[in-house]
Each structure stands twice: as structure tokens, then as C-alpha cells.
Amino acid sequence: MKQKFLMGNEAIGLGAVHAGVDLVCGYPGTPSTEILETVAKINDTLQHKIFVEWSVNEKTAVEVAAGACLAGRRALVTMKQVGLNVAADPLLSLAYVGIKGGMVLAVADDPGPISSQTEQDTRTFASFCKIPVFDPSSPEEAYELVREAFRFSEEYGTPVLLRPTTRICHGCASVKVEDFADVERPQEGFVKDTAKWVIFPKTSYLNHARIERRNAELEGILSKRPYNRIVSVGQGAPIAVAAGGISYEYVREAAELLRAEPGNGEISFEILKITTPFPFPADLAREFLEKHPKILTVEELDPVIERALVYLCGKYHIDSEVRGKITGDLPSAGENTVSEILKALRQFAGLPAKPEASEASALLPELPVRPPVLCAGCPHRGSFYAVKKAVKELGRSAVYSGDIGCYTLGNARPLDMVDTCLCMGAGVTMAQGLQIAEPGVLHFAFIGDSTFFASGIPGVINALYNRTDLILIILDNATTAMTGHQPHPGTGVTMMGEVSEKISIEKLLRAAGVERVITADPLRIREAADAVKEVCAGTGVRAVIFRSPCIAKIRPAAPAEIRQDLCIKCKRCITEIGCPAITAEPGRIQVDSTLCTGCGLCTGVCPVGAIETGGDAE
């Protein structure tokens, strides 16, 4: 054993490697992305023994992993919580069919949310799918649980969910890790058995009954596992708390803070730690309920533990009051914090409230508002501005359907070019519904290159098949930028370090039946705007591909300079494109050379040619 300082995602990836994982696939999404990337880095030292891939989407990843598991291989699938929606179709069926090799889905939840559309709870999804879920409370436990999840998966022939939340994924800790031993497991390979591997209604009926029996048995089995346990803090009559995930650690910290306050040294706590919220460790929880007349549940997102405890009280006629989110003792949305839990514990214990802010914190200045913006030099800024300029010159009305990615930030002023955003790929299809409702308006659908491959293609085919009047704007910056610049099918690079053929977006569109496809550089404003005006003159599905690499993938050019002798202080360079590298100072407009990438977009906006650039980016 040795100690390593690891991010939670690194601990999960390393734990999978130490569990003998054979295949790792997934789709990038914050906060899960670094799990797969960690395995890929380790894989470089293992002569690429593990097959690692970024799949085109989460559904594809689960299906690839399922194939490997049916042949007896161990597979890890990574995604964020909204990706589980995309993966639901194969996962629900796979829960019925079962697996042979261990299969773990690391699905990172995002309370807050910090970088997601929803606050959905994977623990609830586990109950819906009828498969086990492990909820780690720290990076150290995440390392242990991913290995346990593989063992558990093979023992019970089921996919298993691992549910780290953002603070587990991105938190760091000193983790005890085992020395890696490359042990070859016997591989039987795929054995044909249509009665088992081919899903039919009768098979599903029989498997459903089997799954219900298994999960009922697991309630007792999981009650005896050490990761579900009752923890005591202090001596004496305890305050009873049930918690899981990162909230368990918050409760431990809040309990110690409360006990450290003057006069509270005799206060003690008994904490029911729930690591497997489904199947619920019912026997252990029942024992806890019967000891305590009043229990506070602390958890993030859905009241999963709270509902389970209330159910047990009703089932076994236990006279215990369970409080938590449902009763309003804790917020029903957002992340938990230690201070919030401390306040709830104080109220639950009947202790006097304390002022929320200390004198010291009251003296601190307010933090400046820093809304997210497109990076200086981001080609998406040019793409949005070109479309906006073209539509204005045509004197037309337009609706702009957006999508998930960096370019969602095109909604911010002064661009104000994203009217809708729902989920990945929805920009293309929502624009179709809007066009049916308002046929006299121009309808644009913005989508990034990675999102196009992940979920945009079916929408384009749907628009072609149903003869929709739609302008598709594909923002091709040659990477999956928002989640950390991962490769995708259009980049020609795989996570195994192999060079593959780049999938051409133009050829895909033309093969599907899009007759008018124009490729333009969004940083050349006039050329880009003219391309948009050209497709606006047509009908049916037509497309403009704005191609320019993400500024993080290239070497910037010399920063722009503003000639103060020519500048008329009109501020159009600020009010038209909103580049964060250009600011208005008293008596002058200036460029921040530490931010400017020399993209040249501002030179096409200045009406008097006062902005000069030093050359092209490489």
C-alpha cells in the first residue's frame, strides 16, 4: 500500500485499473470527464492493455461496454448525470438481461447545478432501473467502492452504478492505494445462449421476477457490508442523523464544530451512513430507527434516504419521526454545505440559533460579479456575429435555437443569439417545431461539431425527411472544448493514441440530402455574413459550417492594437461583439494584451480601421 494525492475522478480511474478493467468508454461531461482520461494516461504505461474510447454518445458507450461484458470482460462506462438519460434505453434492458463480466457505470451527479441542465439524482434512477448504486462520501472511499462495484456486479450478474457528486469528483485527498498487480483473469469469451442474451417478452417477465427477489435479498446482505454502518461521535444520549455521499462528511464536520462550541461538549451523535441507497440496507436502517425516536436525514438532491426511512417506519410500525427535505428542515434543491447542515443540526437539537455571519466576514467586500463569457478569440463569437449581421442586413426576423456547449454562452449580451437551449441535439429539432409554428420567420439551429456527432445527425435527417425549412449552423472548432478538449470523430484521433479517418461533416450532410452546404471562416466577418445571406435565400434544410479551431488548440497571434489617433471612441468593438480583451478606460479604448489572441475579429467591426493586428494565429 502507498499514499497518493488524488482528485476523486483520478481515484475512480485508478481504482478501475486496479480492479482489472478491460474496457473503458464514455462521453465527456463535467464533472465526470477526468475518470476516463486518468485511465488513458495510466494505459500509456501498460502498453495500451486496456481499450479506452470516447464514444460518440452515452448510449453507444453502454452498448459497447455491454458487448464486452457479455464476453466476460470488465467494463467501466463514464458520463455525467444527464448522460444517463441518453444511456437509459440500453441500460434498462441490460438490467433485465444481465451481464457476465463486471460492468460499472460511473455517473457523476452535479448538485447546484454547477455545469448541467438538471439536478437529477442517479440514486433515484438506480431504483427506476432496479440496479444497485454506490454513493461514495470521499475520494478515498470512491477508490475502494469502484473495485467493490466490479466484484458486486459479477457476483450478482448486474450492471452497478457508482454515483460520485461534483465535490467528490473534483475534491482531492491522500488516498491509500494498492500496488498494481497485473493479474490475468480467466476469460471464457462469449458463449452463445439465446435464452439468456436475446431479450424477449417472456424472458423479461422471468428476469423481472428474479430481479425483484434479488433486490429484496440484497437489503439484508447490504446491511452487513462495512460501508453501510452506524458511526458514533461522542458519548451520551445521541442526536440521530442519517446521511450519505459527501453529506456524510459534512455531517461529521458539522457535528465536531457543534461539539466544540462552549457548553456543547456533552452533545453526541449517532450517524447512519448509507453507502448503498438502492437496494437500501433495510435491516441496518430498521435497527437504527428502533433506537431513535427522532432522526434527521441529510442528503443532496432527492430525499432518497428520507423516503426509505419513512417507508420502513410505516412497514414495521416504528414510532420514529423522520425529518429532512420533505419536512422542510433542509433545502429541497442545490448543494449542501457544512454551515447549512450546522444550522439544521442546531435547530433539530433545539439549540439556540447563532448569527449566520461573523463580524470578520461582514467586513469583507462583496465579490465582483463574473458571468461566464466566450473566451477572447473564440471563433464562436465571430459565428454568432456573422449570423446576426446577415439577418440585420436582410431585414428579416429570426429565432435562434441553441444547444449544449461553449456556444450556449452566445446568449449573453451583446450577442444575444441563443433563444432556446434544452439538451444535446435539441437545437436542431426544436427549430423544426418552431418553424412549423411560425413558418414566416427564419429559423437557425446552432450546434457544435462534437454535439453534431453525438446527437445532431438524427435531427438533421428528421428535418430532411419532413421537408422542414431550416438553416443549420455548425460551429466546428475541431474539439470538444467545454469539457476539456477531448477528441471526437471529426478530429481523426482516438483515446488509444491512434490516427483514424476524420469523419467529414460536409460529406455526412450531403449524403443525408442537404444540397446547400457552405464552409466559411467565422473570423472573416464579411465572408461569413455573405455565406449566411446566401443560405437564407434558399429553402429546405441548408447548412453553413463555420470552421475555425478553438483558441486553446492553437498558438495565438500578436495581440491587436488600437491606434488612439484614429479611434473615435464609438465603442462598437465592445458593444457589437463583447470581447473580454477590449475595455473602455477613461478617455480611451484599449486591448488587454494578456487576453487578446490576435484573432482579428474586432478589425472587421471598427468603422474607421483603428484596430490593427500583428498577424494570423498558428
Residue 361 lies in a domain: no
Residue 368 lies in a domain: no
Is 421 labeled as ligand-binding? no
Give the CATH number, domain containing residue 121.
3.40.50.970
Do 192 and 266 sit in the same domain of this protein? no
Q: What confidence score (pLDDT) does residue 180 get? A: 79
Do 90 and 40 sit in the same domain of this protein? yes
Compute CA 246 distance to the chain's CA centroid, rounded to the nearest angstrom: 17
Is 378 labeled as ligand-binding? no
Do 7 and 154 sit in the same domain of this protein? yes
Length of the chain, in residues: 618
Do 384 and 345 sit in the same domain of this protein? no
Q: Closest Cα partner for 95 from 262, 11, 214?
A: 214
Is 406 labeled as ligand-binding? no
**Host domain of residue 104:** 2-199
Is 69 labeled as ligand-binding? no
Q: How far is Cα 140 from Cα 274, in angstroms, rounded to an integer?
A: 16
Residue 411 lies in a domain: yes
Do 522 and 565 sit in the same domain of this protein? no
Residues 6+ apart with CB under 8 A from 77: 24, 25, 26, 58, 61, 62, 65, 87, 103, 104, 105, 106
Give the CATH number, domain containing residue 567.
3.30.70.20
Residues 6+ apart with CB under 8 A from 523: 379, 382, 548, 599, 600, 601
Locate 556 and state its grid cell.
Answer: 495565438
Q: What confidence score (pLDDT) does residue 137 get? A: 98
Residue 617 contacts residue 557 (beta carbons within 8 Å): yes
Residue 369 lies in a domain: no
Is 599 labeled as ligand-binding? yes
Total domains in the fold of the chain: 4
Do 255 and 383 sit in the same domain of this protein? no
- The strand pairing partners of 493, in sequence order, are 499
Residue 486 contacts residue 35 (beta carbons within 8 Å): no
pLDDT digits (tens, 9 = 90+) for 18-29: 999 999 999 999
Do 476 and 571 sit in the same domain of this protein? no
Do 274 and 171 sit in the same domain of this protein? no
Q: Closest Cα partner for 544 from 592, 505, 504?
A: 505
Kind and range of the H or E run holding 397: none
Q: How far is Cα 176 from Cα 161, in angstroms, rounded to an integer?
A: 23
Question: For strand 294-298 and strand 321-323, is the pairing parallel, antiparallel, or unpaired?
Answer: parallel
Residue 373 lies in a domain: no
Q: What confidence score (pLDDT) does residue 618 get? A: 47
Q: What confidence score (pLDDT) does residue 455 get? A: 96
Question: How many helices and strands in the chain, by DSSP H and E?
Answer: 21, 22
Do 400 and 540 sit in the same domain of this protein? yes
Amino acid at the residue 597: T
Locate 470 and state its grid cell.
Answer: 431550416
Is 313 labeled as ligand-binding? no
Is 129 labeled as ligand-binding? no
Do 508 and 580 sit in the same domain of this protein? no
Q: CA-based angle 45:170:64, to the nearest 5?
A: 55
Question: For strand 172-177 and strand 160-162, is the pairing parallel, antiparallel, or unpaired?
Answer: unpaired
Q: How far is Cα 151 from Cα 227, in angstroms, rounded to an integer?
A: 14
Residue 173 lies in a domain: yes
pTM of the predicted structure, to 2 decimals: 0.94
Residue 85 lies in a domain: yes
Residue 466 contacts residue 493 (beta carbons within 8 Å): no
Q: Closest Cα partner for 29 from 475, 404, 449, 549?
A: 404
Residue 209 lies in a domain: no
Do 290 and 421 sit in the same domain of this protein? no
Do 60 and 191 sit in the same domain of this protein? yes
Domain boundary among 506, 532, 553: 553
Is 375 labeled as ligand-binding? no
Q: What confidence score (pLDDT) does residue 613 get? A: 87
Average pLDDT for consecutive 10-residue bins of the chain (618 residues)? 95 97 97 97 92 97 98 97 97 97 98 94 98 98 98 97 98 93 79 94 95 98 98 89 98 95 90 98 98 98 98 98 98 96 95 70 80 94 98 97 94 95 96 96 97 97 97 96 92 90 96 97 97 97 98 94 95 95 94 95 95 68
Give the CATH number, domain containing residue 239.
3.40.50.920
Supply the DSSP string of 401-441, one letter for each residue.
E--SSGGGGGGSTTT----B--STTHHHHHHHHHHHH-TTS
